[in-house]
Amino acid sequence: MLHESSRICTAHATGTGQDSLGQTRNLNLWRHTDGNYYMIDTTKGMYDPTSSPPNFNLLRGAIVVRDANNAGFENQFGPNILEEQITFSTSSNPNSGWTKHAVDGALNMGRVYDFYLQRFNRNSLDNKGLGLEALVNFPAANAWKPFEGGRMIFGNRGDFPAALDVVGHEMTHGVIFYTSNLKYENQSGALNESISDILGEACEAFHDPQKKSDWNLGTLLPANARRSFIDPALQGNPSKFGKFVVTTSDAGGVHINSSITNHCFYQLAEGLPGAIGFDKAVNIFFNGFTTKLVALSKFEHARRACIQAAEELYGAGSAEATKTAEAFDFVEIFDSTPINTSKIPEIAGNDNVGFLFESNGQTFFGRRDESLGDPLSGVFLGNNGEPTPATWQADVCERGRKPRGLCHARL
Ligand SMILES: [Ca+2]
Ligand SMILES: [Zn+2]
């Protein structure tokens, strides 16, 4: 009996808490022998029952909420976490004592996990049941997903963990890290941002009673922090590749130019005449971006990847494949002939050099063509009392004259 009761003392438990929207939510908790309840959700299929909660280092496949306790700071490189200040989110009462962001984090990370499992049969970010952690109450105005691992960081100067599309966005960065691993700069970085926005909206739609996206990433955030798919210009972002913003800030404009493929996705799903609908567009983009791109892929590769995905999913020549090409055309990401990287064959022949030469304020043209028997020093194509070809080269050196331009052709 003693063994029995001690087993009951440390186990899964349920409770409730109020989220940022003021709603009471059901919580999956872990009841520890110290009498406290920990915000550790062990109910997902990925949970490894040989784990020993609340030992953080031995947890596998749980969703854990921890608290940064308003310690650390954000700078231009991102969040600076003070690991020693982090605590579990705990309470002695399962139905009170939870911070609103802890409730948000537990709820929405669970929803994103469910979305990936049910929608794509994907078991967490790495498809191997990687445990997830929401680090809440970090003193900043942003949300982050570090490149590796299952941690999401939520600043407390906004209700970031309450925004399901934002949590879906951050967790999709994790999925991309474990798949195509698009490099987070320039075009590949913009594609990384874009697929995170698209899947963030897909996650929101999946859990929406009407199964709809509102086409704004950051629905619960202030208007200037949102990203519109329908009209990226609302945030000053481009919707066509021709307006691609070249910049050194924001890792090469990753949050700016992502709007181009976001808009492409919108056109494919709903915008174009004969658009194929949200769910099919999600299938095409998710498949294309996670299975057919690599770290340094660019926009033109995203076009080919999505068309290929559409052909595989719906058939070559299908309306879905045709519309995918049309949507990329719409945002000016056109088809291009792949670069021929085979070696250009060498052509046998004589060297021919043409050059410009300045003397006394006048410009002359010179030539050295082996096939015409020109000497090494070349010949002048013009006679203005200049030195003879035989002495010209030495003459250049002595007088400090320099050829001003040079073109070299191998004939
Ligand atoms: Ca949204
Ligand atoms: Zn992002």
pLDDT at position 390: 44
Residue 258 contacts residue 193 (beta carbons within 8 Å): yes
Both 245 and 365 in a single domain? Answer: no
List the chain pLDDT tens, one digit each, 411 residues: 344 434 446 799 999 999 999 999 999 999 999 899 999 999 999 999 999 899 999 999 999 999 999 999 999 888 999 999 999 999 999 999 999 999 999 999 999 999 999 999 999 999 999 999 999 999 999 999 998 899 999 999 999 999 999 999 999 999 999 999 999 999 999 999 999 999 999 999 999 999 999 999 999 998 888 999 999 999 999 999 999 999 999 999 999 999 999 999 999 999 999 999 999 999 999 999 999 999 999 999 999 999 999 999 999 999 999 999 999 999 999 998 766 667 777 777 777 888 777 766 666 777 888 888 888 878 777 655 454 444 444 344 333 343 333 332 222
Span from the CA of 48 to the centroid of ligand 2 (angstroms): 29
Residue count of the chain: 411
Kindly compute the dihedral angle of the four CA atoms of residues 311, 120, 195, 278, in this order, to the nearest 10 degrees: 70
Domain count, the chain: 2
pTM of the model: 0.81
Closest ligand to C-alpha of residue 169 is: 2
Closest ligand to C-alpha of residue 197 is: 2
Span from the CA of 390 to the centroid of ligand 2 (angstroms): 67
Type of residue at 386: E
The answer to whether residue 336 sits within a structural domain is no
Closest ligand to C-alpha of residue 163 is: 1
pLDDT at position 301: 97
Both 281 and 357 in a single domain? Answer: no
Q: How far apart are CA 192 and CA 180, in angstroms?
A: 9
DSSP assignment letter at 244 = P
Both 290 and 392 in a single domain? Answer: no
Closest ligand to C-alpha of residue 143 is: 2
Q: How far apart are CA 59 and CA 48, in angstroms?
A: 8
The structure tokens listed for 105 are 């984090």
Encode 232-245: b = buried (16+ Cβ within 10 Å), e = exposed.
beebebbbebebbb
Span from the CA of 386 to the centroid of ligand 1 (angstroms): 75
- CATH code, domain carrying 259: 1.10.390.10
Neighbours of ion ligand 2 (CB under 5 A): 196
Both 316 and 367 in a single domain? Answer: no
pLDDT at position 371: 83
Q: Please give the residue range of the domain that contains residue 199.
A: 2-330
Both 147 and 261 in a single domain? Answer: yes
Both 357 and 324 in a single domain? Answer: no
Both 281 and 165 in a single domain? Answer: yes
The answer to whether residue 236 sits within a structural domain is yes
The answer to whether residue 282 sits within a structural domain is yes
The residues annotated with a catalytic role in the active site are 170, 255
Helix (H, G, I), strand (E, B) or coil at 97: coil
Both 359 and 289 in a single domain? Answer: no
Both 247 and 376 in a single domain? Answer: no
Span from the CA of 252 to the centroid of ligand 1 (angstroms): 24
**CA angle at residue 104 from 102 to 106, to 5 degrees?**
70
Mapped to the 3 state alphabet, what secondary structure does 158-182 carry? CCHHHCHHHHHHHHHHHHHHCCCCC
Span from the CA of 161 to the centroid of ligand 1 (angstroms): 13
pLDDT at position 222: 87
Among candidate residues 278, 300, 330, the one where a domain is terminated: 330
Span from the CA of 43 to the centroid of ligand 1 (angstroms): 27
The structure tokens listed for 189 are 């970085």
Q: How far apart are CA 127 and CA 154, in angstroms?
A: 23
